[in-house]
Structure 1
Amino acid sequence: MLNDAKIRAAKERDKPYKLTDSHRLYLLVKPNGSKLWKWSYAYDGKQKTMHFGIYPLVSIADARAKRNEARAQLVEGRDPAVVKKLKVEANIEAGRNTFERVAREWHEIYKPQWAAVHADDVLRSLERDTFPSIGALPVSELTAPKVYELLKAIEDRGSIETAKRVRQRISAVFVYAIAKGMAQADPAEKLGAALKPLRRGRQPAITDLARLSKMIADAEEDYARPITRLALRFLALTVVRPSELRGARWDEFEELNGPKPLWRIPASRMKGDLDRKEEIDGDHLVPLPPQCLAVLRALWPLTGNGDLLFPGNRHTHRPMSENALGYLLNRAGYHGHHVPHGFRAAFSTIMNEWSEREGKEHDRKIIDLMLAHVPKEKVEGAYNRAAYMPRRRELAKAWADMLTKDLPAPLALVERPSKVTSDHSRRRVPEPVSTDFRFPALRRAA
């Protein structure tokens, strides 16, 4: 049997010679002095030789371990040389299956199931947040610490919600990789508990006008009750709070046939404490541009014979579900990107930017007034809620013009198919009113 002393003492000769160990393992000493581990064996009646590496890079112990592994394969009827070749090829293929390659393959497969905007967002997220860090690494070699390092870097830049979404997407890629035999485990699966909790409060909103209009169009193309579609359009135009929209009553509207149509939301329905709700002259006034009147004309045949503009599907005397609009946006692929309350942030951002370019001196204050915000230096009772009404009408019209530029007329929303979920939703949609339709007197006597 060989030992290190014997191997070190072996000198080169004119011809190669062998130093034998046990079970056909030997060291081949070449004329140039290099020493190569080899092992001879018989398989299927043929004599074969395997190479185990160069001494001292491969020690005696390593060479014997390789020999013993190969002998075990022989006992199982496998050719050790073939097993080694297949392992090398598998390692090469595993190296080709980088995270980026597998992630793009996963995205291509699942993309048809998503809304286009969501599919684009997922790919941009992967390209921005994952590929630069782990994209070139084989999925089979990625570890939980490496993935956490990536997620921690996203957190450290203040993007806590993004870190959680990225973790979910990395995990989805690994589920696909496991199913395809390219990985054995999902290193991102348990990392959610290690990430920072989300800060609650600010709700997601799209504040880019083009994307906002595109989102409305996508949502309005989804299967939904016509009332739900019209409610989304009216919410986007009036930017009231969703709870105020859901409780909207026909008798809250004034001068719908006149030059100054108005929605007067009673103080009792506004957000605030008891003093706010009992405030004299505390109603919130919403000037209605022509686009809002078009929504109301399309809505009238559907709900004009009742009290509520947007009743529920089953009970016409109750407001629509508080989740109806949110579900509509989610189905359109905007989960986590925009919520019904987000129209207020969108209006504030877009109109304040617009006012910087084309507005007047007090537009920023007027925009806050249109959102029913009370300045910090004011008290509720001393605040004039009817102030700047002419300019508010101009801003409401400017907002509606920008928002609906590429959107269909409200009547088109009534004619689109509705998802059948109950007998009530199977009812025939009433004929739309004519273009010269005039609203009846809606304002009730005090």
Structure 2
Amino acid sequence: MSNARQLNKLSAVEARTAAPDPENPKTYRLADGGGLYLEVTSKGGKYWRMKYRIHGKEKRLAIGVYGEGKGKVSLKAARTARDKAKELLVQGLDPSTAKKIAKQEGKASATNTFRAVAIEWLEQVHKHKVVPDHYDKNKRRLERDAFPALGNRPIADITAPELLECLRRVEKRGHLETAIRVKTVCGQVFRYGIVTGRAERDPSADLRGALRQPEVNHYAAITDPEELPPLLRAIDGYRGQPVTIAALKLVSLVFVRPGDLRHAAWDAIDLEAATWTFQPGKGSPPLIVPMPRQAVQILRDLNGLTGRGQYVFPGLRSSKRPMSENTLKSALDSMGFKGKMTAHGFRAMARTILAERLNYPEKYIEQQLAHVVRDFNGRAYNRTKFLEQRREMLQAWADYLEVLRDSNGEKFSH
């Protein structure tokens, strides 16, 4: 009993009420025994420290700030830390060195979680390879569907059944396609973990065939020339925002991907040369879109509204962001084309009619669609290939749509 009293000299009340002396405000110590003491500073700070000797040298171990609650060290916890330090000393180990090693290992462990590896991959790799929309979607998929279940787990410890359980939660919400996309992006994170030395394998590879497959739904598109006049007239008479009307007209003329259209920047457009140059995807060769005179006129008219900003088609709430991805869909739906036509559908529309009705070579059309086009040796054409041929094709296409808009759909329909 005497030894216990000698080791634990302080009471909880003494530790709690310890404070600087107003008449002699200087740092002092309250010993608890076994080298442990509470240091009370002149400014009222209270810190647990332990004095010990190792290899003939006297040293100090910083245990923590006195108090109760998160981040603080109570009297009981300080005594536990003292006893653990003494156990290390018996083994010939320095408690201060052991604390530094544990801290370093803790930091390393924090960088090896699925969340840490995923964020690093997003910022260091993915952001620089894909368009902003794709980056934002994958980031949201990870944050919403992967991080809650896997985020704090060491990436090297995650198993295929664990990943499958995570994806099953997405499936249960009825989002079958999303579950597949989450699996894909998780696989990219695991593979990044492998090349950076924090994982040994990609468990997503074991899930082949384990997820339910959604029904394939192609983008709704009008591809019959006889059905085009109502659509073209509806766009022409649409009473929505001028920027939305211009976007619908332009996408029908040059049929680029909706994401590329929304992110169109004024500095990429040369109205004098009638060209629009952009990258269909980060890391991809640039695509030069030769614009027909109708497209140039649309952009000249729009320049007075949005020409001072970065984006040709800025968002309604902020000119610093591009148009929302739902804007064109909402406009088409409100015009009565829900389930019949989408912004992406203009690509299928042009591809079908240009080939089947206007008899343009597939390689010109595919080049304009920013698809990979190869020569007879299997080499991919440069994105500037067939520029003049595409210019003539797009002008013919714009004229064709103009005639259809003002006709009953029979012109050029055979």
Report the TM-score range of the alignment, normalised by the length of the smaller protein: 0.3 to 0.5
The two structures have a TM-score, normalised by structure 2, of 0.44
User: Which is greater in Rg?
Assistant: 1
Structure with larger RCO (C-alpha < 8 A, sep 6+): 1
TM-score by length of 1: 0.41
